[in-house]
């Protein structure tokens, strides 16, 4: 069965019908979601602030692609992911070829009276990706990553901007 020609023919018919019906034409598609293999993900403990991890994602390819504007950050076997600050919903974040984006993650709310220790955290550029896991010891936290009500910034074009946004929203 030849599906592609049938789909192409029906798509062309729909577009022709829309063009004559006065309905708005569909916008040109943007870059595709980055393939996980096309991304390099890094994480390092902040040298300045306890319980903050700086993360980055780099498009290793030459063509632009998109990641989610909210990094997906999970901790060991704990349920859920770090919440975004400021609060937002998922959307595309365009990452040019060879370009990087940066975020900052606060793993522990300083006002918290409880915490969990985990032996690693996983960071992904898109919720559909498995992500890369970072061992607590490799992040400079040999006793484990302290976690309670973690938050993450959106992706930003510089690490300084991500750090500033985290500081602004976690006072």
For 18-50, what is each residue's pLDDT tens digit? 444 444 555 567 899 999 999 999 999 999 899
Structure-block tokens of residue 114: 């409880």
Structure-derived torsion over alpha carbons of residues 68, 70, 73, 78, reported in degrees to the nearest 10 = -110
pLDDT computed for residue 134 by the predictor: 98
pLDDT digits (tens, 9 = 90+) for 55-107: 999 999 999 999 999 999 999 999 999 999 999 999 999 999 999 999 999 99
Separation CA 61–CA 63 (nearest Å) = 6
pLDDT digits (tens, 9 = 90+) for 74-86: 999 999 999 999 9
Q: How many CA atoms lie within 13 A of 113 on its CB side?
A: 0
């Amino acid at each position: 069965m030849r599906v592609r020609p049938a789909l192409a023919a029906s798509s062309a018919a729909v577009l022709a019908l829309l063009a004559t019906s006065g309905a708005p034409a569909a916008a040109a598609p943007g870059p595709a979601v980055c393939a996980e293999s096309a991304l390099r993900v890094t994480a390092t403990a902040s040298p300045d602030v306890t319980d903050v991890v700086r993360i980055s994602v780099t498009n290793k390819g030459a063509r632009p692609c998109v990641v989610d504007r909210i990094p997906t950050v999970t901790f060991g076997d704990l349920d859920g992911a770090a919440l975004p600050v400021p609060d937002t919903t998922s959307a595309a974040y365009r990452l040019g070829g060879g370009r990087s984006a940066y975020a900052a993650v606060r793993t522990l709310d300083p006002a918290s009276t409880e915490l969990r220790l985990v032996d690693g955290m996983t960071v992904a550029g898109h919720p559909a990706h498995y992500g890369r896991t970072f061992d607590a010891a490799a992040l400079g936290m040999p006793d484990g990553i302290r976690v309670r009500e973690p938050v993450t910034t959106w992706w930003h074009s510089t690490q300084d901007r991500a750090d500033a946004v985290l500081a602004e929203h976690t006072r």
